[in-house]
Amino acid sequence: MRRQPFRAAEGGHLVDRSEPLRFDFDGHRYEGYQGDSLASGLLAAGVRIVARSFKYHRPRGVWGFGSEEPNAMVTTGIREDARANLKATEILLSDGLEAFGQNAWPSVAWDMGGAVGLAGRLMPAGFYYKTFMAPTRGWSALYEPLIRRMAGFGPAPAAPDDAFYAKRRIHADVLVAGGGPAGVAAALAAARAGARVVLADENVRFGGALLRMPGEIEEGDGLAWIDTAIAELETMSHVCLLRRATVTGYYDHNLLTVAERPDDDVEPSTPAVRLWFVRARDVVLAAGAHERPLLFDGNDRPGVMSASAAAGYAHAYGVLAGRQVVVAGNNDSIYAVARLLRGAGVAIAAVADSRSGGGVPDLPCRMGWVVERAVGSRRVRGVLLRRADGKPEDKGERIACDFVAMAGGWSPTLHLHAQARGSLDYDEERGLILPGRAGGVNRSAGAAAGRFDLDGCLAEGWAAGLAAATSSGHERPVGPPPRSPNRSAGDAPVSWQVGPGKRFVDLQYDVTAADIELAAREGYQSVEHVKRYTALGMGTDQGKTSSMAGLVLLSEALGRPVARTGTTTFRPPYTPVPIAAMAAGLVGEGRDALRRTAADDWHEAQGAVFTAAGLWRRPRYYPRDGMEEVETIEAEVRETRGGVGIVDVGTLGKVDIQGRDARVFLDLIYANRISTLGIGRGRYGLMLREDGRVFDDGVIMRLGEHHFYLTTTTAHQHAVMQHIEFLLQTVWPELEVYASDVTEHWFAAALAGPGSRALLGRAAPELDLSDAAFPMMAVRAATVAGLSALVFRMSYSGELSYEIAVPADHGLALWTRLLSEGREDDLTPYGTEAMGVMRIEKGHVTHAEADGRTTPDDLGLGRMVSADKRGVGKRSLDLPALRQKGRRQLVGLSVIDTQARIPPGCQVAESSDMKPAPPLGHITSFCYSPTFGRAIALALVENGRARTGQTVHITSPMTGLSMAAEVVPPVFYDAQGTRLHG
C-alpha cells in the first residue's frame, strides 16, 4: 500500500484522519481517509493520470472539484457491480473501493492508444464525417468497431445492475437548488417565513464555494455559519434537506427532478440513486458558477487544473495537488488561491495575472503575464510565461512547477433557468451570460445570477428565499439577513488567449480552439451546428467548463458579437442520471398492480398456469399429472363440449347504467337497437367508434325500467367507460344517464356444456330452467348455491351455458360451491386457452379481429347495424372508403392436412411459393381444434366471403412453412345454434 505523500500535515474539513480507508485504482492499492472523494484520495496518493482522453488518448488528471469535472471519469466495481462513467470527484471513498481508469488499455498510465496522440493533427473537427464517407459497407465492418475501441467511455456492465434504485415524489412551497451561501440563506429565509422548503445540494456538505475557500459570515467562519443555519433547518419539520442530491431537470409547471446519491455506508438498504420529483410552487436557483479554463497550449496536461478546485482539495481534504504551483488567471481570486495553497505548504513559483497593475507584495506576481504553454507530457513540469501584450517573437520565460492552478473567471450555472425556458442576457462588459426573464416560477440568486461576492450572495439568496416564500403565501417574520465583509466581486474581464498549439476547450471530447476555428472557416455559423460538428459540449459534463469559451471563440472567428451567437439549448439532465433510476418502479415485479378475480386463490391452489389479460391474471389452463399442455387444453375443451365446464369470467368489464334516458343512450352507443329489450332480457351489442370501426362488444341486460347492466371485453373496460363518459359529458349532456363501472363489484363464472342445466338445476333448485321459463338471452335473479345471484343464459362457447354473477365478496364461495356441487357431473374448470379454442370454433370475434380497422360488415356483423336509428359510428359506415370492394372480410380457414399446425404470424396467400407479393389477408386467430381434429383459423381476407369453398394458402415466410386451407364461414361449430338450446 502506498502512503499519502500529498496529504498536508493538517487541514481538511471533510476528512476524518482517524479513519484510514484502503482503495484500489487500476490494480494498485492506496490509502485515503473517511470523507475523501476518490479524486482527493488519488491526488493525496500522488496519482496524477486518472483517465485517457476521448479522441487522442492523452493522459488526463483531476481538473475540477465536483460535477463539472470533465476528465476524471472512472468505472467502479467489476462485472455486474461495474458502474461506468462516474466522476472521481463525486465518488465517496469507501473501504475496499475498486476503481478503474477508462478509455485506456492496459491502464491509464500505460495506454497503447496514446500513440494516436502523436497523429492527433489528423483528427480535426468533423473528422468522422469527412473520413468515413465511403464505402458505406466499410462502416459496420471496419470503421465502427475501430472507432468504438479507440473512442468512448467505460464499458457497459456485463450483467444487469442488481442495485436498488428508488423514486420519491414530494410537493414543496420552495425548492432551493444549491446549498452554497446564497442557497442556504434562501432556504433559511423561506423556512422561517413558514414555507415548506426542499434544499438540495450535490455535495456531501452544505457550503458551496465555502467548502473550497474560507469566507467570513456574521463575524465568524462562513462554514460555521452554514452549519448553524443547517442545524436550525434540521429542527424544522417542514424542511427537507438533501445532500449529495443534484437538481437535474426543470420541467413544465415547476416539476423538478433531483438525483440523490445517498451515502450507502449509512444504511445498506438505501438506494444507489433516489430520484426525487419535486413539484414546487417557487424555485430558488442558487446553483453557483463554474470556473473557466485558460486556453493555452497543453492546458489539458495532468496537473493543470481549476484554481478553485486546487484550493478546494487543500481546504476541504488537506490534499495538495503538487509541491510547486504556478497560479495563473485574470481575476483577483488568484491571490486568495495562492495564499491558501501557500498556507497549506505549497511553494508558489509564480502568480501570473493577465491584467496589468500593481499586484500584491506577498506573492511572486507577474503582472500582465500569461501562460503560453504547459511543459511536460505525462504530467506538467513547468510553464512557459510570456507578456500578455507582447509580440509573438518575444522570448517567454520558463518556470518550473508540478501543477498549474488556472482561474479564467466564472460562468454562472444557467442550466435550470434555461431548461425552464428562461431568457439569457449577455453582459458584454462583464463577459457573462446572465439569467434574464424567468421561464417557470423561479428566481436566480448568488453566483448563478452573477453575484460573486459573499455578501452579495447572502443578500440575494435571502431576498430570493423571502420572495419565494411570499409568492407561495408564507409571510412570518424572518429576522435580518446575514452579512459578510467579503464584498469584492472579483469579476474577470473576457480574455481568451490566442496562441498556437493544442488549446483544449472541451477536455472531455477533445475539442480544441483550432477545431472551433476550423468549423467557422468551413462555414458553420449556428452554435448548434458547431456543437454537433465538433462535439463541443456533448460529453457527460455537457459543456459546464467549455461552452463559454467555445461560444466566445466561435463569435471571434465569425467576427460577430457573442450575444448574436447565442447558446446551445440547455436540456436536462444537468448531470447524468442512471437509466436505472428513471426506470425505478417501472420494471420487474411490482411494476403494475395485479388484478385478481375473487376466485384467484382457488386457481392458485389448483396450480393453474396464469396468463396476463391487461392487469388481470387469468388461468390459461389447469395442469394435469402426466399430461402435456396441449393435451390438457384439448381435454378441457372435450370435457366441456361433452359434459360441463366452468370458467372464471370475473375479468369482463361491467357497467351499471341507470337513468330516465338510459334506453335512448344505449341506442346511441350501440350499433344495434337496445331500447326494445324487455325487462329480464339481454342482447349481444356491438359498439362502434365514431369512425365506423368496431370498438367493443358485450352483452346488455335490462334489469329494470331504467336500469341496465352491460359487459365489456376485459381489455376495454377502461376505454369503454371513458367513451361513455365522453359522450355523456361532452356530446349529449342533456341526457339523464348515470354510468358506473362495477367491474370490481361483481364476480362471474360461466357454466358451459350440455350438462350445465342439470348442475345449475341442483345448485338453484328454485329456478325454473326450462326453455320456456328461462329462454336464451334471459336474465333472472336467483339463489345459486345459497348465494344471491344474477343468472344470464348466454353462450360464448357455443354450448348450452349460464353465466352466474354474484357480488365479488361471494365470488370464491360461488366458485367452490359450484365445483363441489359439480363433482358428480365431472365438472371441468377450464382456462383461457380452452375458452379461446371454443370461441374460434364458434367464430366469435375478439380484438384480434376487431383490431381497430374492421367495420361490422368486415366482420360479417353488418346485419347487426340497425338501419333505422342514429348512433355513434353509423354515419361513417356510409363513407366511400368503408363501402368499397376489396376490403378484408372475416372468414374461417380449415387446414386440409390434419397433421399441419399453424405457426404464429401467418399471412393468407393465393399461392404457396412465398415469393414477395401482396398477401390476400392475414390470420387473426388460430388453434388446433380438438372438435374437428385439424388446425383451424379465423382470418381477414380480401373479398373473403366470396372465396368460400376456395383453397388458399396459409404462409409463414418467417418459418418457411405453408399449408393449404379451405375458406369456410367463420362459424365452424354448430352454425345453426341448436346446441345452445340443449
Partner 1 sequence: MLLIPCPFCGARDETEFVYGGDAGVERPRNPETTTDEAWTDYLCFRDNPQGMHRELWFHRDGCQRWITIERDTRTHELGAVRLSRS
**Where on the chain is the footprint of partner 1 (CB under 8 A)?**
251-255, 279, 421, 690-691, 718, 721-722, 725-726, 728-731, 733, 870, 874-876, 878-880
Compute the least distance from the CB of residue 571 to partner 1, in Å: 16
Compute the least distance from the CB of residue 441 to partner 1, in Å: 11
Helix (H) or strand (E) segment spanning residue 927: strand 921-929
Nearest to 701 by CA among 661, 669, 674: 674
Compute the least distance from the CB of residue 883 to partner 1, in Å: 11
Alpha carbon distances (Å) from 244 to 184, 400, 979: 15, 38, 71
Q: Which is nearer to partner 1, 477 or 880 (CB)?
A: 880
Give the 3-state secondary structure percentages of the chain, helix then strand then coil, rounded to 5.
25, 30, 45
Q: Which is nearer to partner 1, 874 or 945 (CB)?
A: 874
Radius of gyration of the chain (CA): 38
Q: Which is nearer to partner 1, 425 or 690 (CB)?
A: 690
And the C-alpha cell for 239? 424542511
Nearest to 383 by CA among 307, 343, 344, 327: 327
Alpha-carbon dihedral angle through residues 734, 737, 743, 748, given to the nearest 10 degrees: -140
Helix (H) or strand (E) segment spanning residue 169: strand 165-177
**Which letter, b or e, does each residue of 126-148 get, where b requires 16 or more Cβ atoms within 10 Å of its Cβ?**
beeeeebeeeeeeeeeeeeeebe
Compute the least distance from the CB of residue 790 to partner 1, in Å: 24
Q: Which is nearer to partner 1, 253 or 915 (CB)?
A: 253
Compute the least distance from the CB of residue 469 to partner 1, in Å: 19
Q: Which is nearer to partner 1, 323 or 869 (CB)?
A: 869
Q: Which is nearer to partner 1, 254 or 801 (CB)?
A: 254
Nearest to 669 by CA among 713, 725, 707, 718: 725
Compute the least distance from the CB of residue 694 to partner 1, in Å: 16
| Contact assessment for residue 671 and residue 695, using Cβ atoms and an 8 Å cutoff | no
Q: Which is nearer to partner 1, 596 or 718 (CB)?
A: 718
Q: Which is nearer to partner 1, 731 or 896 (CB)?
A: 731
Q: Which is nearer to partner 1, 664 or 813 (CB)?
A: 664
Compute the least distance from the CB of residue 729 to partner 1, in Å: 4
How far apart (Å, rounded) are the C-alpha atoms in residues 331 and 354?
A: 8
How far apart (Å, rounded) are the C-alpha atoms in residues 563 and 433?
A: 9
Compute the least distance from the CB of residue 198 to partner 1, in Å: 16
| Contact assessment for residue 871 and residue 732, using Cβ atoms and an 8 Å cutoff | no
Compute the least distance from the CB of residue 731 to partner 1, in Å: 5
And the C-alpha cell for 923? 390470420
Compute the least distance from the CB of residue 251 to partner 1, in Å: 6
Length reported for the chain? 982
| Contact assessment for residue 422 and residue 415, using Cβ atoms and an 8 Å cutoff | no
| Contact assessment for residue 84 and residue 331, using Cβ atoms and an 8 Å cutoff | no
And the C-alpha cell for 90? 463525486
Alpha carbon distances (Å) from 523 to 505, 513, 526: 20, 16, 9
Amino acid at position 575, single letter: T
Q: Which is nearer to partner 1, 232 or 690 (CB)?
A: 690
Q: Which is nearer to partner 1, 255 or 703 (CB)?
A: 255
Compute the least distance from the CB of residue 740 to partner 1, in Å: 9
Give the Cβ contact number of residue 740 at 10 Å.
12
And the C-alpha cell for 585? 418502479
And the C-alpha cell for 435? 439569467
Q: Where are the alpha helices (DSSP H) in 154-221?
A: 181-192, 209-212
What lies within 8 Å, CB to CB, of 235 at 6+ separation is none
How far apart (Å, rounded) are the C-alpha atoms in residues 830 and 938?
A: 22
How far apart (Å, rounded) are the C-alpha atoms in residues 125 and 113?
A: 19
Compute the least distance from the CB of residue 870 to partner 1, in Å: 7
Q: Which residue has the cell 488561491?
A: 337
Q: Which is nearer to partner 1, 170 or 778 (CB)?
A: 170
Q: Which is nearer to partner 1, 37 or 254 (CB)?
A: 254
Compute the least distance from the CB of residue 112 to partner 1, in Å: 48
